[in-house]
């Protein structure tokens, strides 16, 4: 897994810890931006400086939000949302207090409420460049953004009940406002709203709210909120194992095409799970593969990667494929996948006792991952592989020996099982009932069948789809840029650079909570 070196340097505090607990929450560890850190002079002064920097950053975000509203350009809001991750790490009560004070010119009910959550007011002694650089416009976007910041902070402080109150109020605010420029922030608000309820195990209560919000978002063609809400609803149903309802939701909604990558990855994962339960393994496999590929590849999303890969392994096994060994060696996945490795090995050699052992040994883990029933289905695959191995090694073998080799109950059972394997096309053989043996047929020339043609078709279709998708995903510069001056081009390039950097960091807040069982 390629990991940006800069990032690993930052995480040097304990990559191992991160691996175990992939939640980016870590409220104590004040992460420091390498570039932003001045040479160590004095702890207190440094802290103060950092604080001022954070406040300045957030204020910069206000400007961006205002610009976004003024120009009807969602890009700026997207940037603010992206940097939420880095802002989140630095949030403290004093920072929030000064942010609130910086935005609201005078105190009113809202500020009162926010200060109550933050637990302190902005001290006047704080050194702030209070000079109003930008005109103090009252923008609901900024207001909601501040609320969002406080919500995130409450979450990190584990003050869940207060978070529920505030998020509830914010959701109401968002619904009343109905502004298109608010969509992206609204999606985030819903996300944390659901997160609070999930952590307090009250998810069933908000299903109604989410459903109606989803309906509204669909009508308004609000892609961000829509995709977030669909995923939240699916997660909600999965929490209570209501796969039937989840399936109905999926069949009744269309997932927006321009949804962000992270949301798409999640949706694919959920879809894969539904399909796996419904025994549609081929489709499930495709969805899961997409989920794994679309998910950002860094240590922060380890939780999601682990969950998706676990399911992917099982589905592959159920389809009769054996996952590649290298998958289990990846540093992010190695530890979490150990139980699954044992199951895979058992299936690979077709050893029923080994499979049963692994199953009982890791039963608790599988239950926690909600994969237990899926793994139970594998028993039948173990037997299939066993029979295939026997058929390959012996040209003629008595049913009695088959029975002993596969640890079956009786010879009659062995006969039925072998007969079924023959019918299902697992092996090519015949049974001689009177003499009680199974005879394998000679290998048929696979190139005389339609098999190779199908295999080629699959690959060609995949390549063509890849090409088409990449064409769709490309960004083209607008015509205005072509004719613009050098400076403007420079600015655009600068923006692009920033974008790339932010995309690299993006994602962990979206992927939050995937570490635990779904």
Nearer to other proteins, 117 or 269 (CB): 269
What is the distance of C-alpha 461 from the center of its chain?
Answer: 27
Rg (CA), the chain: 28
Among 184-192, 288-296, 457-465, 505-513, the segment contacting other proteins (CB under 8 A): 457-465
Counting contacts by CB under 8 A, is residue 242 touching other proteins?
yes
Instruction: Name the one range near other proteins by CB under 8 A: 22-30, 70-78, 220-228, 370-378.
Output: 370-378
Q: Does 413 bind other proteins (CB under 8 A)?
A: yes
User: With contact defined as beta carbons under 8 Å apart, do 345 and 314 qualify?
Assistant: no
> Whole-number minimum distance, CB 133 to other proteins, in Å?
50
**Does residue 460 bind other proteins (CB under 8 A)?**
yes
Residue 355 C-beta: closest distance to other proteins, Å? 13
Minimum CB distance to other proteins, residue 92 (Å)? 40
Q: For the chain, how long is the longest CA-to-CA vector?
A: 99
Residues 311-350 vs other proteins: string with x where CB under 8 A?
A: ----------------------------------------
CA angle 417, 419, 424 (to 5 degrees): 95
Find the part of the chain contacting other proteins (CB under 8 A) among 20-28, 128-136, 155-163, 430-438: 430-438
Q: Are 262 and 296 in contact (CB under 8 A)?
A: yes
> Is residue 430 within the footprint of other proteins (CB under 8 A)?
yes
Question: Angle between the 43-71 and 140-156 helix axes, to the nearest 10 degrees?
Answer: 140
Q: Which of 144, 213, 172, 220 is nearest to 231 (CA)?
A: 213
Q: How far is CA 425 from CA 75, 243, 418, 419, 422, in A?
A: 54, 31, 11, 10, 5
Closest CA to 166 of 132, 189, 141: 189
Site for other proteins contains 492 (CB under 8 A): no
Interface stretch with other proteins, choices 3-11, 50-58, 328-336, 405-413 (CB under 8 A): 405-413
Asked if residue 498 lies in contact with residue 5, where contact means CB atoms within 8 angstroms, the answer is: no
Instruction: Single out the residue of 53, 377, 389, 484 in contact with other proteins (rule: CB under 8 A).
Output: 377
Q: How far is the CB of 67 from other proteins (least distance, A)?
A: 38
367 touches other proteins (CB under 8 A): yes
Question: Judged by CB under 8 A, does residue 421 bind other proteins?
Answer: yes
- Residue of 277, 288, 327, 337 that binds other proteins (CB under 8 A): 277
In contact, 346 and 407? CB cutoff 8 Å: no
Q: Which of 12, 108, 258, 450 binds other proteins (CB under 8 A)?
A: 450
Measured CA to CA, the distance from residue 211 to residue 226 in angstroms comes to 10
Which residue matches tokens 């539904």? 274
* Backbone phi and psi for residue 439, each to the nearest 5 degrees, phi listed first: -115, 125
The residue from 123, 137, 395, 410 that contacts other proteins (CB under 8 A) is 410
Residue 429 β-bridge partners = 440
Instruction: Return d(Cα 233, Cα 434) in angstroms, integer.
Output: 59
Q: How far is the CB of 280 from other proteins (least distance, A)?
A: 8
Nearest approach in angstroms of CB 434 to other proteins is: 7
Q: Helices 261-277 and 223-239 sit at what angle, rounded to 10 degrees? A: 30
Residue recorded with tokens 């960004």:
475
Q: Is 464 in the site for other proteins (CB under 8 A)?
A: yes
If the CB atoms of residues 172 and 278 are measured against other proteins, the closer one turns out to be: 278
Strand order in the sheet with 396-398: 396-398, 437-440, 429-432
Choose, by CB under 8 A, the member of 172, 200, 468, 495 that binds other proteins.
468
> At its nearest, how many Å lie between other proteins and the CB of residue 350?
13
Q: Reduce the DSSP state of residue 127 to 3 states and report it.
A: coil
Total residues in contact with other proteins, by rule CB under 8 A: 49
Q: How far is the CB of 307 from other proteins (least distance, A)?
A: 16
Interface with other proteins, residue 394, by CB under 8 A: no
Residue 310: in which H helix or E strand, if any?
A: helix 302-319
Q: Which residues contact 83 (CB under 8 A, 6 or more apart)?
A: 57, 61, 502
From the list 52-60, 151-159, 335-343, 424-432, the region that binds other proteins by CB under 8 A is: 424-432
Interaction of residue 416 with other proteins, rule CB under 8 A: yes
- Give the footprint of other proteins on this chain (CB under 8 A): 240-244, 247, 277-280, 367, 370, 372-373, 376-377, 379-380, 383, 408-410, 412-413, 415-423, 429-434, 448-450, 453, 457, 460-461, 464, 467-468
């Amino acid at each position: 897994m390629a990991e940006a070196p800069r990032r690993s340097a930052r995480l040097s505090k304990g990559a191992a810890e991160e691996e175990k607990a992939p939640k980016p929450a870590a409220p104590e560890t004040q992460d420091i931006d390498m570039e932003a850190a001045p040479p160590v002079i004095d702890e207190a002064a440094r802290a103060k400086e950092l604080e001022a920097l954070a406040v300045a950053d957030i204020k910069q975000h206000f400007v961006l939000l205002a610009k976004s509203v003024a120009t009807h350009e969602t890009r700026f809001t997207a940037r603010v949302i992206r940097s939420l991750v880095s802002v989140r790490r630095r949030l403290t009560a004093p920072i929030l207090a000064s942010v609130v004070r910086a935005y609201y010119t005078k105190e009113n009910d809202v500020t009162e409420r926010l200060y109550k959550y933050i637990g302190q007011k902005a001290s006047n002694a704080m050194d702030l460049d209070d000079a109003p650089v930008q005109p103090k416009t009252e923008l609901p976007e900024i207001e909601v953004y501040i609320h969002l910041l406080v919500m995130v902070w409450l979450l990190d402080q584990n003050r869940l009940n207060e978070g529920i109150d505030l998020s509830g109020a914010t959701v109401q605010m968002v619904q009343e406002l109905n502004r298109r420029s608010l969509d992206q922030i609204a999606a985030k608000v819903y996300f944390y709203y659901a997160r609070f309820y999930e952590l307090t195990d009250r998810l069933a209560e908000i299903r109604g709210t989410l459903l109606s919000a989803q309906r509204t978002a669909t009508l308004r063609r609000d892609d961000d909120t829509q995709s977030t809400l669909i995923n939240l609803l699916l997660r909600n149903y999965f929490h209570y194992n209501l796969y039937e309802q989840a399936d109905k939701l999926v069949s009744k909604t269309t997932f927006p095409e321009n949804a962000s990558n992270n949301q798409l990855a999640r949706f694919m994962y959920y879809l894969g799970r539904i399909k796996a339960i419904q025994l549609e393994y081929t489709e499930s496999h495709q969805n899961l593969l997409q989920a794994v590929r679309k998910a950002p590849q860094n240590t922060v999303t380890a939780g999601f990667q682990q969950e998706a890969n676990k399911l992917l392994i099982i589905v592959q096994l159920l389809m009769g494929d054996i996952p590649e060994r290298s998958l289990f060696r990846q540093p992010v996945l190695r530890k979490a996948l150990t139980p699954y490795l044992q199951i895979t090995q058992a299936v690979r050699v077709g050893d029923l006792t080994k499979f049963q052992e692994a199953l009982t040994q890791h039963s608790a883990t599988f239950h926690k991952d909600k994969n237990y029933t899926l793994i139970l289905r594998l028993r039948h695959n173990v037997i299939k592989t066993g029979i295939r191995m026997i058929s390959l090694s012996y040209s003629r073998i008595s049913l009695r020996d088959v029975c002993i080799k596969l640890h079956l109950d009786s010879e009659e059972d062995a006969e039925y099982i072998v007969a079924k394997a023959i019918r299902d096309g697992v092996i090519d053989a015949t049974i001689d009932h009177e003499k009680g043996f199974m005879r394998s047929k000679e290998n048929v020339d696979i190139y005389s069948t339609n098999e190779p043609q199908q295999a080629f078709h699959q690959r060609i279709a995949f390549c063509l789809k890849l090409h088409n998708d990449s064409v769709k995903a490309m960004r083209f510069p607008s015509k205005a840029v072509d004719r613009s001056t050098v400076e403007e081009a420079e600015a655009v390039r600068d923006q692009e650079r920033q974008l790339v950097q932010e995309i690299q960091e993006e994602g962990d807040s979206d992927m939050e909570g995937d570490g635990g069982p779904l």
